[in-house]
Amino acid sequence: DAGVIQSPRHEVTEMGQEVTLRCKPISGHDYLFWYRQTMMRGLELLIYFNNNVPIDDSGMPEDRFSAKMPNASFSTLKIQPSEPRDSAVYFCASSNTYSAQFFGPGTRLTVL
Amino acid sequence: AQKITQTQPGMFVQEKEAVTLDCTYDTSDQSYGLFWYKQPSSGEMIFLIYQGSYDEQNATEGRYSLNFQKARKSANLVISASQLGDSAMYFCAMREGGFGNEKLTFGTGTRLTIIP
Alpha carbon of B106: minimum distance to chain A alpha carbons (Å): 7
Q: Is B100 exposed, middle or buried (0-12, 13-18, 19+ CB in 10 A)?
A: exposed
Q: B107 in helix, strand or coil?
A: coil
DSSP β-bridge partners for residue A76: A22, A68
- B16 Cα to chain A: minimum distance (Å): 28
pLDDT at A62: 85
| Residues B72 and B26: beta-carbon distance below 8 Å | no
Q: What percent of chain B has pLDDT over 70?
A: 99
Q: Do B47 and A108 touch (CB under 8 A)?
A: no
- Phi then psi for residue A60, to 5 deg, are -70, 125
**pLDDT tens for each residue of B33-44:** 999 999 999 999
CB–CB of B44 and A103 under 8 A? yes
Quote the percentage of chain A above a pLDDT of 90.
Answer: 94
Query: Considering only alpha carbons, which residue of chain B is nearest residue A103?
Result: B45
> Residue A82: what pLDDT?
97
